[in-house]
Amino acid sequence: MSFDLNAALERVGGDQELLKEIAQLFLDDAPGGLALIREAVEKNDALALQRAAHSLKGSVANFGAEETVEAAYQLEQMGANGKLDGAKDVFVVLEKELRKVSEDLSQIE
């Protein structure tokens, strides 16, 4: 599993229904966040990249999805430092990891 179910449940006090609701909100919002990151990378916009990656990182961290958080963090730091060399490669990793997390989150019952 691409996220830590126990950690996610712990964050919501063990409330499975609440976790399912939060997961659905994330699934609704994540594509837009990913699109903002893609656009920032394509436009070489460091500030927009920093902001969008930070936002997505915070959202996905709620689920203990460490690989996805790490990729978003790397992009956030690239944006913060204004050094976007390699950002496209990290974006590919983020996109792949986010796809896995989204598929797994959609299975929460």
Structure token pair of residue 60: 């996905």
On whether the CB atoms of residues 44 and 51 are closer than 8 A, the answer is: no
Kindly state the tokens that stand for 12: 């919501």
**pLDDT, tens digit (0-9, with 9 covering 90-100), for 41-61:** 999 999 999 999 999 999 999
Q: Give the global pTM.
A: 0.94
CATH number at residue 70: 1.20.120
**pLDDT average, residue stretch 65-92:** 97
- The pair of structure tokens assigned to 15 is 């409330």
Domain count, the chain: 1
- Strand intervals (E) in 38-100: none
104's tokens: 């797994």
Q: 1 pLDDT band (50/70/90 cuts)? A: confident
Q: Which of 60, 71, 76, 74 is nearest to 4 (CA)?
A: 60
State the average pLDDT for the chain.
96
Determine the structural domain holding residue 83 and report its residue range.
5-105
38 close to 56: Cβ distance less than 8 angstroms = no
Q: So what's the pLDDT on residue 109?
A: 84
